């Protein structure tokens, strides 16, 4: 049947082709016309799906707290004024190479670390027409919805509003899609960051971190969006490892700090430590093999492994400080693989790669101290 259909279509195209055009040219013209029509329909479908999600978000918020007002025009105007008064407040770091990542200055230049504590509990989100880039427009709806959830949570905790967050269990589609859109939008930005970073993208990171660290909301989010969050962490790690542009350290440091902030949640921290242990171990084994055969190694990958080592060390230190090590998942298979033959790896690499060997040793000390406790 399929062969007969294709043959009939070919005869129809040949029979109906205009003069002066070959069958191939006419076929390509028809294919282009149909694809343009398909694109138009796809765009209309995406617009309608976005509108449906927005309405579902409003309905869910209304079910959680009928008294909550969704109007936020005043705060949006304040944010717009702040952008217009100092639109390049984060551009000072762009004049140099961005190679100095010995402290948090590079991350502060993105406005994330310095603004996080100020806006963590009071993030205000502009409406769609205040966003100028497509990246920000794709983030507007999920950021607004999730921020409204956080505002309701804060007001209900203070006794100002009564809210029923059990409604989140009854509408997993809305919360999952909203978080997924936020994570996808942040991944797009981190893959191709633009400087100076707008305040809105800074607020998007704050909303994500506030959401996963909130004692009541994080459980709902993790149950429904754990796989998506795991995918997001893996994407950020690969962004760090694959980066090869010369002036990249400022952007990589911002990605690193976002991973550290995600590690504030115990469940995400344990899985993140496992991912980092695996990546660092695999690189150490590859570097040892390359060194033994006197082959050329990838200098970009070597430089990019250090942010992962620093994230890993910081997360392990946080675990030690919180005395929560006995419940950590990373003490299983990944920890055993990491520590296996590590002394021999450090011994063979210490002369040629002393800094990397030092990081391996420091991580091993933290892992061994955790085992002793």
Contact yes or no for 277/335 (Cβ under 8 A): yes
In angstroms, the Cα distances linking 308 to 7, 12, 269, 353 are 57, 60, 14, 16
pLDDT tens digits along 193-228: 877 777 888 889 899 999 998 888 888 888 889 999
pLDDT tens digits along 241-276: 998 877 788 788 889 989 999 998 888 998 999 999
pLDDT at 338 over 60: yes
ω into 196 cis (within 30 of 0): yes
Using CA atoms, how far apart are residues 153 and 163, in angstroms rounded to an integer?
8
pLDDT of residue 370: 65
Contact yes or no for 175/114 (Cβ under 8 A): no
pLDDT tens digits along 175-201: 999 999 999 999 998 988 877 777 888
Average pLDDT over residues 353-361: 94
pLDDT of residue 224: 87
% of residues, the chain, pLDDT over 70: 77
Of residues 74 and 338, more confidence is placed in 338
At 311, is the pLDDT very low, low, confident or very high (cuts 50, 70, 90)? very high
pLDDT tens digits along 268-290: 998 999 999 999 999 999 999 99
Name the residue with tokens 């999730």: 146
Of residues 154 and 105, more confidence is placed in 154
pLDDT of residue 93: 38
Average pLDDT, the chain: 78
Which DSSP string do the residues of 37-61 spell out, in sequence order?
HHHHHHHHHHHHHHHHHHHHHHHHH
pLDDT at 53 over 70: yes
Of residues 41 and 144, more confidence is placed in 144
pLDDT of residue 328: 52
Q: Which residues contact 134 (CB under 8 A, 6 or more apart)?
A: none
pLDDT at 371 over 70: no
Of residues 315 and 202, more confidence is placed in 315
pLDDT tens digits along 65-93: 887 765 443 333 333 344 444 433 333 33
Q: Which residues contact 296 (CB under 8 A, 6 or more apart)?
A: 290
Domain boundaries, the chain: 140-264, 269-320+330-372
pLDDT of residue 74: 37
Q: How many residues would you count in the chain?
A: 373
pLDDT of residue 373: 52
pLDDT of residue 111: 46
pLDDT tens digits along 11-41: 888 888 888 888 888 888 888 888 777 777 7
pLDDT at 306 over 90: yes
Average pLDDT over residues 126-148: 67
Nearest alpha carbon to residue 368 among 333, 331, 321: 331
* Letter string b/e over residues 230-268, b meaning 16 or more CB atoms within 10 A of that residue's CB: eebbebbbebbbebeeeebbbbbbbbbbbbbbbbebeeb
pLDDT of residue 298: 84
pLDDT of residue 102: 39
Which DSSP string do the residues of 270-297 spell out, in sequence order?
HHHHHHHHHHHHHHHHHHHHHHHTT---
Q: What is the DSSP letter of 120?
A: T
pLDDT of residue 288: 92
């Amino acid at each position: 049947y399929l062969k007969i259909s294709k043959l009939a279509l070919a005869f129809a195209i040949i029979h109906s082709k205009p003069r002066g055009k070959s069958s191939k040219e006419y076929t390509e013209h028809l294919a282009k016309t149909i694809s343009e029509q398909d694109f138009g329909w796809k765009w209309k479908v995406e617009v309608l799906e976005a509108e449906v999600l927005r309405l579902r978000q409003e309905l869910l918020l209304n079910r959680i707290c009928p008294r909550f007002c969704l109007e936020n025009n005043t705060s949006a105007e304040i944010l717009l004024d702040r952008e217009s008064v100092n639109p390049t407040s984060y551009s000072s770091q762009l004049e140099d190479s961005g190679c100095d990542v010995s402290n948090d200055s590079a991350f502060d230049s993105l406005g994330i670390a310095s603004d996080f504590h100020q806006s963590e509990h009071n993030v205000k989100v502009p409406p769609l027409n205040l966003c100028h880039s497509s990246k920000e427009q794709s983030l507007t709806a999920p950021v607004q919805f999730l921020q409204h959830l956080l505002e309701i949570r804060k007001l209900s905790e203070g006794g100002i509003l009564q809210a029923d967050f059990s409604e989140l269990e009854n509408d997993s589609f809305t919360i999952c899609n909203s978080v997924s859109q936020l994570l996808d939008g942040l991944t797009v930005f981190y893959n191709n960051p633009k400087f100076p970073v707008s305040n809105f993208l800074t607020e998007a990171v704050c909303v994500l971190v506030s959401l996963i660290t909130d004692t009541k909301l994080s459980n709902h989010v993790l149950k429904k969006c754990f796989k998506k969050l795991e995918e997001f962490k893996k994407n950020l790690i690969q962004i760090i490892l694959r980066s090869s542009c010369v002036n990249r350290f400022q952007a990589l440091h911002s990605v690193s700090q976002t991973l550290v902030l995600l590690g504030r949640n115990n469940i995400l921290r344990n899985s993140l430590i496992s991912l980092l242990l695996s990546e660092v171990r695999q690189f150490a084994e590859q570097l040892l093999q390359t060194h033994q055969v006197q082959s050329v190694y990838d200098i970009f990958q070597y430089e990019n492994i250090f942010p992962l080592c620093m994230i890993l060390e910081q997360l392990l230190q946080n675990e030690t400080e919180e005395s929560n090590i006995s419940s950590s998942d990373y003490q299983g298979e990944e920890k055993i693989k990491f520590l296996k033959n590590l002394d021999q790896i450090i011994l063979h690499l210490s002369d040629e790669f002393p800094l990397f060997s030092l990081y391996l040793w420091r991580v091993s000390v933290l892992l061994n101290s955790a085992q002793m406790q």
